[in-house]
Amino acid sequence: MNMDYQDFREDDVFDMKGETTIWSERIIPVGLKLGDERGKREQVLRYIDAVNEQLEWIRQNRGVITDMLVKDGLLTLAEDWISGAEDISEYDENEEPIKELYRLMDGTEVALPLSEKEFRASLRMESISIDLTGGRENQTAELIMFCTPDYFAGHCFVLDIERDGTMTYRGLWG
């Protein structure tokens, strides 16, 4: 699902903005940072192949991206956040927990421990911003992601992906 330069429009936040689908999910915004106020449409035309290459890498590498997030401790962090939600655990007659259960801000009930499979399935893309200010050689994609259910109480997390696939987790925002 390649984007065309005509899919982008000038925007108040990004230099140019379009929309695409990632990981068979809902349509998400794709913002472009171009660095030069002049000739934005021409710059998009010049960089559209590089933009599509990076978007395709993201589409094809969901497993690599989620592996990195799990290795960086996001699953454990999600469990920490969940355990701070409303405790609705079930207890036996000795007040021992039968099932450790929490109600999140979005009303979802979540049991701990959270499985890696559950965590991976919860990951969603909110937006992608591609920085082209340093040219094609230095382009970076910034992924804004969240979980459904909302394990992080309205917070998203940010991940940078360099053109060569190098990834950096930048933390929670919100």
Q: Cα–Cα distances in Å, from 169 out to 25, 51, 52, 74, 125?
A: 22, 21, 22, 10, 14
Average pLDDT, the chain: 94
Amino acid 35: pLDDT: 81
Where in the chain are the domains?
5-75+116-173, 76-112
pLDDT digits (tens, 9 = 90+) for 109-159: 999 999 999 999 999 999 999 999 999 999 999 999 999 999 999 999 999
Distant-in-sequence, close-in-space partners of 29: CB < 8 Å, separation ≥ 6: 17, 18, 19, 127, 128
Confidence of residue 161 (pLDDT cuts 50, 70, 90): very high
57 alpha carbon, distance to own chain's centre: 14
Please state, in angstroms and rounded to a whole number, the distance separating the CA atoms of residues 98 and 19: 46
What's the whole-number mean pLDDT along residues 18-40?
Answer: 89
Residue keyed to tokens 């969940």:
82
Q: What is the pTM of this model?
A: 0.91
In contact, 146 and 152? CB cutoff 8 Å:
yes
Give residue 94's pLDDT: 93
How confident is the model at residue 97, as a pLDDT? 84
Which pLDDT score, from 0 to 100, does residue 70 have?
Answer: 95
How much of the chain exceeds pLDDT 70, in percent? 100
How many angstroms separate the CA atoms of 66 and 130, rounded? 19
Question: Could you give the 3-state DSSP secondary structure of residue 108?
Answer: coil
Which pLDDT band, with edges at 50, 70 and 90, does 11 fall under?
A: very high
Please report the pLDDT score of residue 160 as a whole number.
97
